């Protein structure tokens, strides 16, 4: 993945340099969205989406602006999917989010799946209810892992796998740009912080930043303590999903301070409550990467860091989040 990440980073950097020379106003949410889309597509499918190479940057913007309605009123999803995409696009362009994303992901899925079937020497069988049991050649793409998994044929139908890929795609392009916006804003709003980060990156990467080769830099970036601190602080103030992550103890009561909570009672708190606990993170709403640096960082800070979920509900792409950022 690293060469692909590096290539996409160079593409978007070149685009930003051209826009800067032209004096154009840049909506960074669009830029972060197309980068996220290209990265998750490269991780999932065989063919690149290449949104960083297209001029239609308003496509991701309109997608993200319409997602709020879908996310808040899930019951309308079935109705939206029942409307032909072309008609829906005319009636309500921003509400066409689900369809546009689905068509994008399905096109990539069909292409990757067809390529594997055509090159596989293993016979693809179809049962009476048209469920396929495909044993395709393994590789590192997410689609291959899903199709080659030990799930039942019913759970590996094209519709089911495509829905799983769509969920991952949507989670990436709606969350990565948001946390990048939060982090970028705080860095640019604090000149001293920006100077520290620039100095660290220049010292570590040097000429690699402008190299025309696919230079591996992950090992170097992993040594950038201030960069990692900025990423962690950006994630802390991003919060992620604000819904309470409830748990239940079915056997014994939970004792919290002066309260006794009966067995079976759902108890939970949001990432916002955990991430902004003033006893763990003083001045908790301030962007202070220094709190994560060696010498300042305390284990309790990790225990109350929930932007990417916790336990069995940890984000599936947690490692990719850090790599992308």
Q: Are residues 120 and 215 in the same domain?
A: no
Is the pLDDT confidence value at 236 over 70?
yes
Asked whether residue 184 is assigned to any structural domain, the reply reads no
Phi, psi at 260, each rounded to 5°: -115, 115
User: For residue 39, what are its two tokens?
Assistant: 């990265």
Q: Are residues 238 and 138 in the same domain?
A: no
Phi, psi at 267, each rounded to 5°: -130, 130
Counting the structural domains of the chain, the total is 2
Asked whether residue 179 is assigned to any structural domain, the reply reads no
Contact 132, 124 (CB under 8 A): yes
Asked whether residue 141 is assigned to any structural domain, the reply reads yes
CB-based contacts of 194-202 (< 8 A; 24+ apart in sequence): 196/226, 197/226, 197/227, 197/230, 200/224, 200/225, 200/226, 200/227, 201/227
- Among 143, 173, 203, the domain-final residue is 173
Residues 272-313: tens digit of each pLDDT: 888 899 999 999 999 999 999 999 999 999 988 888 877 777
User: For residue 50, what are its two tokens?
Assistant: 């290449």
- pTM equals 0.75
- Among 173, 200, 227, the domain-final residue is 173
- Among 173, 199, 230, the domain-final residue is 173
Least confident range from 99-103, 169-173, 188-192: namely 99-103
Q: Are residues 52 and 159 in the same domain?
A: yes
Q: Are residues 140 and 196 in the same domain?
A: no
**In which domain, by residue range, is 244 found?**
190-324
Asked whether residue 209 is assigned to any structural domain, the reply reads yes
Q: Are residues 163 and 234 in the same domain?
A: no
CB-based contacts of 260-263 (< 8 A; 24+ apart in sequence): none
The CA distance from 39 to 25, in Å, is 24
Q: Are residues 64 and 99 in the same domain?
A: yes
């Amino acid at each position: 993945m690293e060469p692909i990440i590096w290539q996409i980073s160079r593409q978007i950097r070149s685009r930003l340099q051209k826009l800067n020379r032209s004096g154009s106003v840049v909506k960074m949410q669009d830029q972060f969205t197309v980068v996220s889309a290209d990265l998750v597509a490269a991780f999932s499918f065989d063919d690149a989406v290449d949104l960083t190479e297209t001029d239609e940057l308003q496509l991701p913007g309109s997608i993200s602006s319409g997602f709020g309605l879908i996310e808040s009123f899930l019951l309308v999803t079935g109705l939206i999917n029942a409307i032909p995409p072309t008609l829906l696009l005319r009636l309500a362009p921003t509400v066409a989010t689900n369809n546009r994303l689905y068509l994008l992901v399905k096109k990539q899925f069909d292409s990757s799946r067809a390529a594997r079937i055509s090159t596989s020497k293993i016979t693809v069988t179809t049962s009476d209810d048209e469920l396929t049991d495909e044993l395709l050649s393994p590789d590192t793409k997410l689609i291959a892992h899903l199709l080659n998994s030990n799930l039942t044929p019913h759970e590996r139908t094209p519709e089911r796998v495509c829905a799983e890929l769509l969920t991952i795609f949507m989670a990436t392009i709606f969350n990565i740009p948001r946390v990048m916006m939060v982090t970028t804003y705080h860095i640019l709003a604090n000149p001293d912080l920006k100077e520290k980060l620039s100095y660290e990156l220049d010292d570590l990467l040097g000429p690699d930043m402008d190299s025309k080769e696919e230079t591996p830099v992950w090992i170097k970036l992993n040594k950038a303590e201030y960069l990692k601190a900025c990423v962690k602080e950006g994630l802390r103030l991003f919060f992620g999903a604000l819904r309470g992550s409830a748990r239940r103890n079915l056997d014994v009561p939970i004792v919290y301070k002066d309260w006794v909570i009966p067995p079976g009672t759902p108890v939970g708190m949001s990432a916002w409550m955990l991430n902004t606990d003033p006893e763990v993170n003083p001045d908790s709403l301030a962007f202070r990467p220094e709190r994560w640096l060696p010498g300042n960082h305390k284990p309790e800070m990790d225990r109350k860091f929930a932007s990417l979920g916790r336990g069995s509900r940890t984000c599936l792409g947690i490692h990719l989040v850090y790599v992308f950022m």
